[in-house]
Structure 1
Amino acid sequence: MIRLWVSMVVVFGFAPMALAQDVTLPEGLGNLTALKPPQEKQAGLPVDLSGFLETRMGARLQNDPLQKDMSLGEARLQIGLEKQVDRLTFRVVSDFIYDPVQDIYDIDLERGQGVIDLREANMVFSPLDFMDVKLGRQIITWGTGDLIFINDLFAKDWNSFFIGRDTEYLKAPSDALKTAFFFGDTNLDVVYVPRFDADRFIDGTRISYFDRARGKLSGRDMPVRAARPDDWFSDDEIALRLYRSFGAYEAALYYYDGYWKSPAGQDQVTGLATFPRLSVYGASLRGPVQAGIGAVEFGYYKSADGAAHNPLVRNDELRLLISYEQEVGDELTGSLQYYLERRLDYGAYLATLPVGAIRDDRNRHLFTLRLTKLMMQQDLKLSLFNFYSPSDRDGYLRAQVSYKIRDNLRLEAGGNIFYGAEIHSFFGQFQDASNVYSALHYDF
Structure 2
Amino acid sequence: MQAAQTGARAVALAASLLAAAPAAADLSVSGFLQQNTAVNTAGANPDGRDYKWQEERAQLKLEATGGAWRGYFKGDGYYDNLDRNGGGDVREAYVDYTGSAFDLQVGRQVITWGLGDLVFVNDVFPMDYEALFVGRPLEYLKRGVDAVKLGAYSKLANFELVLEPKFRESRIPDARRFWLFDPMPAVTNRETLKPSQGDVGLRIYRDIAGYDAALYLYRGFQRTPSMRPDSLTAPTKITYFYPQLSTYGASLSGQVGVGVLSMEAAYYDSRQDRSGTDFAVPNSQTRLLVAYQLQPWEDFTLNLQYYEERMQDYGAYLASLPPGFPVEKRWNPTVGLRATQFYRHQTLRVSLYASYDTSNDDRFINPELRYSFTDRVWGAVGVNIFGGKPWGQFGQLVRDDNLYVQMRYAF
Q: TM-score, normalised by structure 2?
A: 0.88
Hey, what does 2:76 align to over in structure 1? 95
Tell me the distance in 2 between the aligned counterparts of 1:153 and 1:342.
Answer: 18
> Partners of 1:137 and 1:356 in 2: how far apart?
42
1:431 equivalent in structure 2: 398
Q: 1 CA distance for matches of 2:200 and 2:67?
A: 30
Aligned partner of 2:271 in structure 1 is 304
What is the CA distance between 1:431 and its match in structure 2? Answer: 1.0
Q: Describe the SS at the equivalent of 1:438.
A: strand
Superposed displacement of residue 92, structure 1: 1.1
2:253 maps to 1:286: yes
Q: Does 1:175 align with 2:146?
A: yes
Once the 2 structures are TM-superposed, how far is the Cα of residue 346 of structure 1 from its aligned partner? 0.3
1:237 Cα shift? 0.5
Cα distance in 1 for residues equivalent to 2:53 and 2:189:
18
Matches within 5 A, 1:125-164: 125-126=97-98, 128-164=99-135
Task: Judge conservation of contact 1:204–1:223 (CA < 8 Å) in 2.
Answer: no
Residue 224 of structure 1 and its aligned partner are, at CA, apart by 7.2
Residues 215 and 249, structure 2, Cα contact 8 Å, conserved in 1: yes
Mapped pair 1:236 → 2:203:
no
- Report the CA distance between 1:185 and its aligned residue: 5.7
For residue 59 of structure 2, what is the aligned residue in structure 1?
Answer: 78
Contact 1:318-1:344 within 8 A present in 2 as well: yes
Relative to structure 1, the CA distance from residue 223 to residue 282 in structure 2 (aligned partners, 3 Å threshold; closer, same or farther) is farther
State whether residues 205 and 223 of structure 1, in contact with CA within 8 Å, keep that contact through their aligned partners in structure 2: no
Q: Is the 8 A contact 1:159 1:206 kept in 2?
A: no
Cα drift, residue 442 of structure 1 = 0.9
After superposition, the Cα gap between the structure-2 partners of 1:253 and 1:268, relative to the gap in structure 1 and judged at 3 Å, is farther
The answer as to whether partners of 2:243 and 2:281 remain within 8 angstroms in 1 is: yes
| Matches of 1:264 and 1:298, distance apart in 2 | 24
Distance 2:120 2:319 in 1: 30
Q: Does 2:335 match 1:367?
A: yes
Residue 305 of structure 1 aligns to a residue in which SS?
helix
1:116 to 1:70, Cα distance in 2 relative to 1, 3 A? same
Letter matched to residue 438 of structure 1:
V
* Number of aligned residue pairs: 382
Who is 1:15 aligned against? none
Structure 1 residues 311-335: Cα deviation after superposition (integer angstroms, max 9, x where no partner): 1111111111110011122311111
Q: CA deviation at 1:202?
A: 2.8
Q: Which among 56, 60, 75 is matched to residue 36 of structure 2?
A: 56
Q: Aligned to 2:240, which of 273, 293, 299?
A: 273
Give the C-alpha shift of residue 399 in structure 1: 1.1
* Distance change (3 Å), C-alpha of 1:416 and 1:405: same
Hey, what does 2:94 align to over in structure 1? 122
Q: What one-letter code is carried by the residue in structure 1 that aligns with 2:95?
A: M
SS of structure 1 residue aligned to 2:181 = strand
* Residue 253 of structure 1: how far off its partner (Å): 0.5
Q: Is the 8 A contact 1:265 1:314 kept in 2?
A: no
Q: Which runs of 5+ in 1 are unaligned?
A: 1-32, 35-44, 106-113
Distance 1:306 1:243 in 2: 30
> 1: CA distance between counterparts of 2:326 and 2:148?
41
1:245-284 → structure 2 map (5 Å cutoff): 245-266=207-228, 268=230, 270-284=237-251
Q: Secondary structure at the residue paired with 1:357? A: coil
Give the aligned partner of residue 400 of structure 1.
368
For 2:239, give the aligned amino acid. L
Q: 1:352 aligns with which of 314, 320, 324?
A: 320
Assess if the C-alpha contact under 8 Å between 1:47 and 1:83 holds in 2. yes
Cα RMSD (Å): 2.1
* Contact map agreement 1:131 1:179 (CA 8 A) in 2: yes
Q: Matched residues in 1 for 2:272 and 2:397: separation? A: 31
Give the equivalent residue in structure 2 for 1:66: 46
Contact kept? 1:204, 1:224, Cα under 8 Å: no
Indicate the residue corresponding to 2:9 in structure 1: none
Letter of the aligned partner of 1:407 in structure 2?
Answer: D
User: Does the 8 Å contact 1:134/1:179 carry over to 2?
Assistant: yes
Equivalent residues of 2:245, 2:272 under 8 A apart: no
AA aligned to 2:214 is A
Letter in 1 for 2:323: V
Q: 1:201 Cα deviation (Å)?
A: 1.8
Letter in 2 for 1:327: Q
CA shift, 1:137, in A, is 0.5
Measure the CA separation in 1 of the matches of 2:177 and 2:143.
Answer: 17
| Deviation at residue 362 of structure 1 after TM alignment | 0.7
* 1:264 Cα deviation from its structure 2 partner: 3.0
Tell me which amino acid in the other structure corresponds to 1:318. Answer: T
The answer to whether structure 1 residue 442 and structure 2 residue 409 are counterparts is yes
SS at match of 1:349: helix
1:37 equivalent in structure 2: none
Q: 1:91 offset after TM fit, Å?
A: 1.1
1:129-169 deviation line (CA, Å, top 9, x unaligned): 21101100011112111111111111100000100111110
Q: 1:411 aligns with which of 363, 379, 390?
A: 379
Gap regions ≥5 residues in structure 2: 1-22, 232-236
Structure 1 residue 265 displacement after superposition: 4.4
- Deviation track 1:24-51 (CA, whole Å, cap 9, x = no partner) reads xxxxxxxxx99xxxxxxxxxx9831011
- Aligned residue for 1:383, secondary structure, equals strand
